[in-house]
Amino acid sequence: MTADDVRETGAALAARALELPELAHARTVAAYVSVGSEPGTRALLDALRARGVRVLLPVLLADNDLDWGAYEGHDSLVRVRHGDRMALLEPAGERLGPEAVLAADAVLLPGLAVDGRGMRLGRGGGSYDRVLARLERAGGDPALVVLLYDSEVVGLVPEEPHDRPVRAAVTPSGVHRFR
């Protein structure tokens, strides 16, 4: 996809996501900054912040777990390269700790695909598996929403015992609800 395609689909994705009741009433949303050809999240991050929502963004730790920081706009992001992996945009401010995600009313997740059961296929690093396990151990029940392209809603993805289903998938053309 071209940069224009990613930007256009990001705007459509933001519009669909902002219609979700789970985000309409959220005070804190854990999200992420898209990279590469992932569906663009910047328009959504800015729209949530403009609504007065506290947006938490991940900071990748050496063990692939996630710390969190507050999103304060584009100027608050720094590009960080993690070894041989891709560079990520992360919040430059104070680190809030891995437990900060427990305050989230909704968690927006990246993914490669989701199936009709709401099972999400991630990139394989386990970062969000740790986040979801942390939420489960703490008894947290935020809305789990994966952001994808339309073609990434598929019939079936592989599932492992630690995987947790999402409540919804948002694509540029609409919202897919599960269970």
Is the pLDDT at 52 greater than 90? The verdict is yes
The annotation status of 128 as a binding-site residue, yes or no, is yes
Kindly give the pairing relationship between strand 143-147 and strand 120-121: unpaired
pLDDT tens string 150-164: 999 999 999 988 889
Q: What is the DSSP string of 161-175?
A: TT--B-SEEEETTEE
Tell me the CA distances in angstroms from 93 to 48, 59, 105, 133, 136, one per residue in order: 19, 11, 22, 25, 27
The annotation status of 121 as a binding-site residue, yes or no, is yes
The annotation status of 38 as a binding-site residue, yes or no, is yes
Q: Which domains does the chain have, with CATH numbers?
A: 3-177 (3.40.50.10420)
pLDDT, residue 85, reads: 67
The number of C-alpha atoms within 13 Å of 102 and in the hemisphere containing its C-beta is 13
The annotation status of 33 as a binding-site residue, yes or no, is yes
The annotation status of 125 as a binding-site residue, yes or no, is yes
The annotation status of 111 as a binding-site residue, yes or no, is no
Is the pLDDT at 2 greater than 90? The verdict is no
pLDDT tens string 95-129: 999 999 999 999 999 999 999 999 999 887 889 99
C-alpha–C-alpha distance, residues 55 and 68, integer Å: 10
The annotation status of 73 as a binding-site residue, yes or no, is no
C-alpha–C-alpha distance, residues 148 and 160, integer Å: 21
Q: Of all helices (H) and strands (E), which one includes residue 64?
A: none
DSSP one-letter code for 155:
S
Residue 54 three-state SS? strand
Other Cβ atoms within 10 Å of 92 Cβ, number: 13
Strand partners, 29: 55, 106
The annotation status of 122 as a binding-site residue, yes or no, is yes
